[in-house]
């Protein structure tokens, strides 16, 4: 977006004492400057806020009350520099918009009259954001329809839904909350039901997930749904880290991303024939990269959006009691298919059993697996079974 040199120059030009000093009175005490916390949500009566100069010339800052022991859920990198400071200040209960990295840089450059060399990408992102705001102002046309699909006005503004004139727009945010494209659902006229923005300098649809901007890094799972309404409604009823690919099945880029994030993927596709095919192909793709996803089977005929709406606050109870591990899901099918004749089933299921076994890392899972295989397929998995039972 901006060159590294530009960001370095900006940070060098801006003294944190001057910047924070515009919001709170700072007093020098030894090597630090102290003051009451400038954050709009912190009614501070002790000087909890401090700014200091590091040996390498960079600045740090912190509020001993706002930051100590708190999670940096929005990844603002508390305390690191002037850019983090203005983003943090904008993230308060009264603000309607939290500054993105790009906007924070723009604001600082303006405040300190540092000439900005804008990249092509940053201009494109600014344009998309204006486009999205324009769509948002027209959303009233679709409001009744969206209420009918189970969305409240709060959901509509949380996801920044808008109306293009023909389509309902769902802006696609990056992890740093920049809009890079749209998923659009047909509302009036004719055409494909869903459209995703074309590949551009800033957007490649096979790389992004809808919902990736509100991931909780400390949560172990990522739920992968089929569509944008699934994401919005499951999120509404308490499912964290729920995302969907955009107009694609899972791609290798997606899987690399899941691996880098470190989440355990849970597939929650529609409970119909196409959904089952999708689960099978995705679960195999994941296993090829040694990622062993779980499956959340939904009641027959449901998609996640409908299901979330029907169970509402019980959604996560259902998740904890119905989540199936990779191997359970893999072995469920041959068990149904070959149940007629035990010897036939054993022979046909063996390759699947062996491949499912590779996914197991923990001893307690191996015990469960061995019991399951013995019970459902009449196969005793040799020494693993005996040693597990000792
Ligand atoms: Zn504070």
Q: What is the pLDDT of residues 323-349, one digit of tens each?
A: 999 888 888 866 665 555 567 777 778
Q: Does the reported pTM lie above 0.95?
A: no
Distance 68 CA to ligand 1 centre (A): 10
In 145-178 the beta strands, taken as DSSP E runs, fall at 162-163, 167-173
* Residue 282 C-beta-side C-alpha neighbours within 13 Å: 29
Q: How far is the CA of 36 from the centre of ligand 1 (A)?
A: 8
Q: What backbone phi and psi angles, to 5 degrees, belong to 160?
A: 55, 45
- Regions of the chain where pLDDT drops below 50: 385-390
The pLDDT of residue 111: 94
Q: What is the pLDDT of residue 389?
A: 44
Which distant-in-sequence residues (6+ apart) come within 8 Å of 120 by Cβ?
A: 201
pLDDT attached to residue 153: 97
Cα(194) to centroid of ligand 1, in Å?
A: 44
Q: Quote the pLDDT of residue 156.
A: 97
pLDDT digits (tens, 9 = 90+) for 52-95: 988 888 899 999 888 766 655 555 566 789 999 999 999 999 88
What pLDDT does 385 receive?
A: 45
Query: Is 317 in a helix, a strand, or coil?
Result: helix
CA distances from 91 to 78, 132, 287 (A): 12, 20, 39
Buried b vs exposed e over 122-149: b needs ≥16 C-beta within 10 Å?
A: bebbbebbebbeebbeebeebeeebeeb
Q: 295: CA distance to ligand 1 center in Å?
A: 42
Query: How many angstroms does the Cα of residue 100 sit away from the middle of ligand 1?
Result: 21
71 Cα–ligand 1 center, Å: 14
Q: Tell me the CA–centroid distance for residue 114 and ligand 1, in Å.
A: 28
How far, in Å, from the CA of 42 to the mean position of ligand 1? 5
Quote the ligand 1 centre to 44 CA distance (angstroms): 7
Nearest to 325 by CA among 265, 242, 377: 265
- Separation of 67 CA from ligand 1 center, angstroms? 7
Q: Rounded distance, CA 24 to CA 141, Å?
A: 44
Rounded distance, CA 333 to CA 347, Å?
14
69 exposed, middle or buried (CB, 10 Å; 0-12, 13-18, 19+)?
Answer: exposed
Phi, psi for 5 (deg, rounded to 5): -60, -40
3-state class (DSSP) for residue 380: coil
Nearest to 299 by CA among 330, 327, 272: 272
- Write the DSSP assignment of 78-116 as a string of letters: TTS-HHHHHHHHH-STT-S-PPPHHHHHHHHHHHTTPPP
The pLDDT, as a whole number, for residue 382 is 57
Residue 262: left if φ>0, alpha if ψ -120 to 50, beta else—which one? left
How does DSSP classify residue 24?
Answer: S
Q: What is the pLDDT of residue 388?
A: 45
Q: Separation of 62 CA from ligand 1 center, angstroms?
A: 8
* 205/231 Cα distance (integer angstroms): 17
pLDDT of residue 166: 94
The confidence score (pLDDT) of residue 116 equals 80
pLDDT at position 390, please?
41
Pairing state between β 27-29 and 59-63: unpaired
Give start and end residues of each alpha helix (H) in the chain: 4-13, 16-21, 82-90, 101-111, 120-137, 140-148, 153-158, 228-236, 252-261, 273-288, 304-311, 315-322, 326-337, 342-357, 363-377, 382-389
CA of 97 to the centre of ligand 1 (A): 20
Residue (of 114, 83, 123) closest to 101 by Cα position: 83
Closest Cα partner for 43 from 18, 21, 63? Answer: 63
């Amino acid at each position: 977006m901006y060159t590294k040199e530009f960001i370095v120059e900006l940070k060098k030009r801006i003294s944190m004492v001057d910047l924070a000093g515009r919001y709170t009175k700072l007093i020098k005490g030894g090597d630090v400057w102290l003051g009451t916390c400038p954050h709009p949500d912190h009614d501070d009566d002790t000087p909890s806020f401090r700014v200091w100069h590091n040996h390498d010339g960079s600045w740090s800052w912190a509020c001993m009350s706002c930051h100590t022991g708190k999670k940096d859920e929005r990844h603002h990198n508390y305390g690191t520099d002037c850019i983090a400071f203005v983003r943090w200040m904008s993230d308060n209960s009264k603000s309607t918009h939290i500054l993105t990295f790009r906007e924070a840089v723009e604001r600082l450059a303006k405040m300190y009259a540092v000439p900005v060399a804008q990249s092509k990408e940053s201009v494109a992102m600014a344009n998309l954001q204006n486009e999205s705001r324009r769509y948002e102002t027209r959303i009233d046309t679709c409001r009744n329809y969206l209420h009918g699909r189970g969305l409240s006005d709060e959901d509509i503004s949380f996801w920044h839904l808008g109306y293009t004139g023909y389509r309902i727009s769902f802006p696609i945010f990056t992890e740093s909350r920049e809009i890079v494209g749209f998923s659009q659902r047909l509302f009036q006229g004719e055409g494909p039901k869903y459209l995703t923005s074309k590949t551009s300098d800033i957007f490649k649809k096979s790389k992004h997930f809808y919902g990736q901007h509100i991931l909780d890094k400390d949560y172990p799972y990522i739920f992968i749904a089929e569509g944008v309404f699934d994401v919005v409604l499951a999120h509404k009823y308490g499912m964290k880290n729920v995302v969907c690919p955009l107009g694609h099945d899972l791609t290798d880029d997606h899987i690399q991303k899941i691996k880098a994030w470190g989440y355990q993927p849970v597939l929650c596709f529609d409970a119909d024939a196409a959904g089952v095919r999708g689960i099978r192909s995705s679960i195999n793709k994941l296993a090829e990269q040694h990622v062993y996803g779980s499956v959340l089977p939904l009641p027959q005929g449901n998609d996640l959006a409908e299901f979330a709406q029907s169970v509402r606050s019980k959604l996560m109870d259902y998740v904890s009691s119905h989540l199936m591990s990779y191997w359970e899901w893999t072995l469920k099918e041959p068990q149904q298919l070959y149940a007629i004749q035990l010897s036939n089933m054993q022979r046909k299921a063996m390759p699947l059993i062996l491949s499912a076994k590779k996914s197991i890392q923990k001893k307690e899972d191996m015990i469960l697996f061995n019991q399951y295989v013995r019970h459902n397929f009449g196969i005793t998995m040799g020494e693993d079974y005996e040693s597990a039972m000792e």
